[in-house]
Amino acid sequence: MIDDEIVEMIRKASAPMMSDEIVSGLARKGITTAATDPVQYLRRMAIRRREVVRFHGKGYRDAARPWKPEGYEPTVKKGRLT
């Protein structure tokens, strides 16, 4: 599933990934979306997947990892990231 590929790419990244980096990474793997606007697809996917957090203007990051420059600390409720 394409969402799983995106999440895996973001988890492996050492810094937040911008939309164009994610789309390019998918293209290098030969993966395309059926969406007419891949960036819009990423935004919607990030809302659905708790494993990803979006920092407006800075990219997408693994929601389980803190990011000090933005003061982000993951929160866990009942064993799940929120």
Q: Which domain holds residue 23?
A: 2-81
3-state secondary structure of 52: strand
**What's 49's domain CATH number?**
1.10.10
Q: Residue 41 and residue 73: Cα distance in Å, rounded?
A: 25
Contacts of 27 by beta carbon, 8 Å cutoff, 6+ apart: none
The model's pTM is 0.81
Show pLDDT as tens, one digit a residue, over the chain (82 residues): 788 999 999 999 999 999 999 999 999 999 988 889 988 888 888 878 889 999 999 999 999 999 999 999 998 665 566 5
**What is the domain count for the chain?**
1
Q: Residue 57 and residue 25: Cα distance in Å, rounded?
A: 19
User: Using an 8 Å Cβ cutoff, are 1 and 43 in contact?
Assistant: no
pLDDT at 28: 94
Q: Which tokens sit at 58?
A: 């800075």
